[in-house]
Amino acid sequence: MTQSQVSYSQLQQAVAALRAGEVVAFPTETVYGLGADASNPEAVKKIYQLKGRPSSHPLIVHIGDITQLPQWASELSLAAVNLASAFWPGPLTLVLKRDPAVNTVVTGGQDTVAVRVPSHPVALQLLKAFGGGIAAPSANRFGHVSPTRVEHVREEFGADVGIVLDGAGCEIGLESTIVSCVGPVPQLLRPGAITLAQLQAVVPQVTAAVDATAPRAPGMLERHYSPRTPLKLVATSDLQAAIRQMTQVGETVAVLATFSTTEINEQVIWINGSTNSTLYARNLYGNIRVLDKLGASVILVEALPSSDEWLAVNDRLRRAATPA
């Protein structure tokens, strides 16, 4: 699924760019990241400028292994240590009290910092060669659909990002699970591939109830992950009627569902996203990007089950469907 390595020269070019305060794009197991030296505030500001991202929206610091965590966090609870030990490298981000040396440009002005160790081999190669933390949100314009292939990054930024490391597709396809370990009760801030049940198997106290004092975290805005074409969620039982209603007035409809259609209609573009939640998630952003390019009036997405395995996908689709 993923490319195991990049060439030595490509890696050295990326490291040199990071050390020179430039921005590079690289693959993780979740989505592609837009990275800069996390210890260089001016470099980090370039991420915000390129993405059009509000400065209050925190970034995730990617590190090479768990031993680097004390460089970024001033307090490590037992829950944080246990979660990191269980799920790193992997798609888990921990929000912790920041070390005083961590610039608040990275943290969106907060006294907390989001940190993770990715598992993609190219990301780990880059982190090992660089030797420091890389601040990296998803490599797309702010609020748009996240990239899961190298061509998605190039579509977003063109020549504005000179170095894009090619790691083939992202195995998971959705952003990391985020857990705040600040305060007495760990809180699930953003669902991802690591489910609440898996978290609670390691730390039973983890809760999905987020209180008003929880830190801000990436991906928590009501509207996010959105295509340019309006996206609407439609119940399975209402999907065919919604399609007929729109095509009867001459509109073209793009559809993402868990099943195929036998109807042939030049006004309807249909993608079967799979009934398997893992496959559906892996291909979600790529499928939405395909449908977004077709010039349809609307993207209709079949509403999905509410079970735990679909929680992260439902979270992304709900935000994508929120009107501007």
Query: Which letter does DSSP use for residue 163 in this model?
Result: E
DSSP letter assigned to residue 215: P
Contact predicate 270/292, CB 8 Å: no
State how far the Cα of 144 lies from the Cα of 57, in Å rounded to an integer.
15
Bridge-based pairing state of the strands 134-135 and 32-37: antiparallel
Alpha-carbon distance of 225 to 209, in angstroms, equals 22
Residue 320 and residue 229 in contact, taking contact as beta carbons nearer than 8 Å: no
Task: Give the pLDDT of the chain (324 residues) as one tens digit per residue.
Answer: 345 567 889 999 999 999 999 999 999 999 999 999 999 999 999 999 999 999 999 999 999 999 999 999 998 999 999 999 999 999 999 999 999 999 999 999 999 999 999 999 999 999 999 999 999 999 999 989 999 999 999 999 999 999 999 988 899 999 999 999 998 999 999 999 999 999 999 999 999 988 888 898 887 778 888 999 999 999 999 999 999 999 999 999 999 999 998 777 889 999 999 999 999 999 999 999 999 999 999 999 999 999 999 999 999 999 999 987
* Residue 55 in tokens: 């400065």
The helix or strand, by DSSP H or E, that contains position 35, with its residue range, turns out to be strand 32-37
Secondary element (H or E) of residue 152: helix 150-157
Contact call for residues 195 and 311 (beta carbons, < 8 A): yes
- List residues bridging with 61 in a β-sheet: 115, 135
Helix (H, G, I), strand (E, B) or coil at 249: coil
Residue 32: what pLDDT? 97
Is-contact 105 135, C-beta < 8 A?
Answer: no
Q: For residue 318, give the DSSP letter.
A: H
Tokens 């065919």 correspond to what residue?
Answer: 240
pLDDT score recorded for residue 2: 40
Sheet holding 187-190, edge to edge: 163-164, 24-27, 32-37, 134-135, 60-62, 112-116, 92-97, 177-180, 187-190
Task: Catalogue all structural domains in the chain, each as residue range(s) with its CATH number.
Answer: 8-202 (3.90.870.10), 231-320 (3.40.50.11030)
Phi, psi of 255 (to 5 degrees): -130, 135
What is the predicted pLDDT for the residue at 93? 98
Amino acid 249: pLDDT: 92
Residue type for 31, please? V
Is residue 35 within 8 A of residue 45, CB to CB? The reply is no
In whole angstroms, give the CA distance from residue 75 to residue 247: 57
pLDDT of residue 6: 79
> Alpha-carbon torsion 164, 121, 224, 220, what sign?
negative
